[in-house]
Amino acid sequence: MPLTIYHNPRCSKSRQTLERIEAAGQSPTVIRYLETPPDVATLRALVQRLGVPVTDLIRFKEALAKELGLAAGDDRSADAWLALLAEHPRLLERPIVDDGERAVIGRPPENVDALL
């Protein structure tokens, strides 16, 4: 299945992950998630394929997270976190690479090798 990368071209890890995918001969679908944010259903599917808690997708050190008063231990439901990510895509950990069955966070970029 073709790869999709949720990409931020300003992020060095995201650029390195995309380069690694292309060096392996793949031409992924590139979604610039800051311009085209994933909706809640897409985020929910990514969390399932990643096999991690939704809070693993949140950049708590991002200035916006601090502005919003967010912390990893906040008592929120998974749906509340997903809605927050859909509303504030800057908080989404990046890059996320998805093959439709499995997904990985490209930190470090070598994580993507599991999908190549």
Q: Residues 97, 20, 106, 103: is their CA dihedral positive or negative?
A: positive
Marked catalytic residue, from 11, 30, 34, 83: 11
Q: What is the distance of C-alpha 112 from the center of its chain?
A: 12
Count, residues in the chain: 116
Q: Both ends of the chain: CA-CA distance in Å?
A: 10
Catalytic residue list contains 107: no
Active site amino acids: 11
